[in-house]
A and B are shown apart, each in its own frame.
Chain A
Amino acid sequence: MALPEAKKLKLVLFAAVFIVAIGLPFILRDPYYLGFVNVFIMYSILSLGLNLILGYTGLLSLGHAAFFGLGGYTTAILMKNHGLPFVPSLVISALIALFFGFLVGIPTRKVKGDYFCLLTIIFGEIFRLVVQSWIGFTGGAMGIVGIPIPKIFGWTIRTEADFYFLGLGLLCFTYFTLAILVKSKFGRAFVAIREDELAASVMGVNAPVYKILAFGIGCLYAGLAGSYLAVYQTVVTPSNFRLEESCFMIIAVIVGGMGNLGATFSGVFLMTLATEVFRPIAEYRMLIIGLIMVIVLLFRPQGLFGASAFKD
């Protein structure tokens, strides 16, 4: 059976990506570069989740870092204080982020535009302040240090390469579940809400419920990424989950292309690269990142790869 040309190309591309992904830690021997890749993977998971909320459903959430933090702290507390293994901690972290996603989504379901944005900023700040002040539970500004080394069914995750494969697994899970979701009737309903909420509800979409659903599911992946961060850094502090982190993810989604999963990677890559390259100039690097965003949006308002976002 002869495959159509486009499908063949896709298959070849997919195989190439697969081989490179598996072989990367054997080529990239330097832990510095592999560490960079791991950070890229973590932000990819976060931004893919955010793309569902922002790019597909059209809800500008500035509190994504809080859900990231919820995942991180849940894993840290469960593993360090309660001695739970990594896998159940990971699952519980994701579920806690999902639960809080619903909790924030329910009261904000009828709030639109700027007001939604404000409420999510407030949630993000509340999270950070609670974590900073509840010293007995979260360790305050010092955070939680000495999170144990994770093990999955006897596989001890210790080196950069180990973390790379763990991250890759989580990233594949994130990407493929989201890809299935956005191609289904649920994904179409999310896009319909973004395009025109009233028309969507008249077409049979239960708009408030779907908005809560999109928000919660997007946050679930933030919980996964948080859990990954906790075991990777072995430390979580409130400063890991500031408003700047949320902005970083939003910029990555917008620069990559809203409403397109694959495009998210390009945005995250550009952003993590810029952060690394301009690290010596410290605070001023946000200035340059802002400039990059302005330039990208001037020449490609739909994002780097946003053009064919909704065409099949």
Chain B
Amino acid sequence: MPLLETTELSKYFGGVVALESISLSIEKGEILGMIGPNGSGKTTFINVLSGIYRPEKGEVKFKKRDVTGFPPHVITREGISRTFQNLRVFPNISVLQNILTGLHCRIDNSLFGIFFSPFSSMKREKQAEHKSLEILEMVNLAKTKNELAKNLPYGEQRLLEICRALASEPDLLLLDEPCAGMNPVEIDTLATFLKKLKSAGITIFIIEHNMRFVMSIAERIVVLNAGKKFKEGLPAEIQNDREVQEIYLGEEEEI
């Protein structure tokens, strides 16, 4: 059963065709990879899924519900969470506060509740804090919980951003180039972490340029080129596909 399904999804920026009739489905519990040359529309695709852009045509179905054109905060509440290509943690607040912000839509306190039933509100806040620490524990960041996010090393900030997305209890996690700028050790840590998340039942959709990483971790791969879906298949198939190699490296010329 597909967790998320897009049909004929198109997005234009004026005359520029960013996405053209993309139909694909993400199955429950899998890790789906997406690759493609620069400017092929991968990030636009994630932006449409997470509600930042509204598609011109087509629809997005999540858990059999039409969520096309919903604003981002509603999409997050529905259970889709994401990270950004260029790191967007909240720099001037502590690591723990970052994660707690991710839990925003899961804390059931109302504006009147925090004043008129302070004790049950405080209890919910405590539970949220406890949960945040558990998430940080998973990636060994619990010891830095009071550190400002901007003071963490780059790789840890990347992990923090994924943890923040996880805090909103997503069923589907969209990762936009999580490896960018990471060193090989950090990439290994990330791979183990993502596999752990998969076994915890979270579906992951990942855009990545690091071929070794994406080939090793994804179960299926979609190739995007110039806004269109170009190929879809198993990592091994994609790796040996002549046409895919050509869009990346250019055509081989006859001498």
| Known A188-B100, A188-B101, A310-B148: A203·B164 in contact at CB below 8 Å | yes
B97 touches A185 (CB 8 A): no
Q: Tell me if B97 and A191 are in contact (CB < 8 A).
A: yes
Which 6 A-B pairs give the minimum distances between C-beta atoms?
A204-B105, A195-B90, A204-B76, A199-B88, A201-B72, A310-B93
Q: Could you tell me the distance between the alpha carbons of A4 and B213 in the complex, rounded to whole angstroms?
A: 47
A204:B77 contact, CB within 8 angstroms: yes
- Chain A residue nearest to B76 in the complex (CB): A204
Instruction: Tell me how many residues of A have a C-beta within 8 Å of chain B.
Output: 28
Residues A311 and B146 in contact in the complex (CB < 8 Å), given A188-B97, A203-B104, A204-B168: yes
Chain B residues, CB < 8 A from A177: 115
A180, B109: Cα distance in complex, Å: 12
A195–B93 CA distance with the chains assembled, in angstroms: 9
Interface residues of A in 155-202 (CB under 8 A from B): 177, 180-181, 183-186, 188-189, 191-192, 195-196, 198-202
B210 on the interface (CB 8 Å rule)? Answer: no
Q: What per-residue 1/0 map shows which CB atoms of B64-93 lie under 8 Å from chain A?
A: 000000011100110001101000111111
CB contacts (< 8 Å) of B146 on chain A: these are 311-312
CB–CB B88/A188 < 8 A:
no
B109 near A203 with CB under 8 A, answer no
Number of interface residues of B (CB under 8 A): 40
| Distance between Cα atoms of A180 and B91 in the complex (Å) | 23
- Is A97 in contact with chain B by the CB < 8 A criterion? no
| Known A177-B115, A180-B114, A311-B146; contact A199-B73, beta-carbon cutoff 8 A | no
Contact of A204 among B88, B104, B115 (CB under 8 A): B104
Q: Apart from A180-B115, A185-B128, A192-B101, list 19 A-B contacts with CB within 8 A.
A: A181-B114, A188-B104, A195-B91, A195-B92, A199-B84, A199-B88, A202-B50, A202-B81, A203-B105, A203-B165, A204-B73, A204-B77, A204-B106, A205-B104, A309-B92, A310-B94, A310-B97, A311-B146, A312-B97
Complex Cα distance A311/B97, Å? Answer: 9
Query: Interface on chain A toward B: helix, strand, loop, or mixed SS?
Result: helix
The smallest beta-carbon distance between B173 and chain A, in angstroms, is 12
Closest A-chain residue to B111, C-beta based? A186
Residue contact A312 to B114, C-beta cutoff 8 Å: no
> Known: A185-B109, A191-B90, A201-B72. Contact between A312 and B96, CB under 8 A?
yes
Give chain B residues whose Cβ lies under 8 Å from the Cβ of A203. 76, 81, 101-102, 104-105, 164-165, 168
Min CB distance, B119 to chain A, in Å? 12
User: A184 near B73 (CB under 8 angstroms)?
Assistant: no
Chain B interface (Cβ < 8 Å from any Cβ of A): 50, 52, 71-73, 76-77, 81-82, 84, 88-94, 96-97, 100-107, 109, 111, 114-115, 118, 121, 125, 128, 146, 148, 164-165, 168
Q: How far is the CA of A221 from the CA of B219 in the complex (A)?
A: 56
User: A196 touching B88 by the CB < 8 A rule?
Assistant: yes
Which residues of chain A come closer than 8 Å to B165, judged between CB atoms?
Answer: 203
Alpha-carbon distance between A189 and B76 when the two chains are bound, in angstroms: 14
Minimum distance in angstroms from B201 CB to a CB of chain A: 20
Q: How far is the CB of A164 from chain B (nearest CB, A)?
A: 26
Q: Which residues of A contact B91 (CB under 8 A)?
A: 195
- Counting chain A CB atoms within 10 Å of each CB, the highest count among B77, B91, B93, B128 belongs to B93
Identify 19 residue pairs between A and B in the complex whose beta-carbon atoms are under 8 Å apart, listed by A's number: A177-B115, A181-B114, A184-B114, A186-B114, A188-B100, A188-B101, A189-B104, A191-B101, A192-B90, A192-B104, A200-B101, A203-B168, A204-B73, A204-B76, A204-B106, A205-B105, A207-B73, A311-B94, A312-B96
Contact assessment for A201 and B73 in the assembled complex, using a CB-CB cutoff below 8 Å? yes
Complex interface: chain A residues within 8 A of B93 (CB) = 191-192, 195, 310
B82 touching A185, Cβ below 8 Å: no
Q: How far is the CA of A310 from the CA of B101 in the complex (A)?
A: 13
Interface pair B92/A206, CB less than 8 Å apart: no
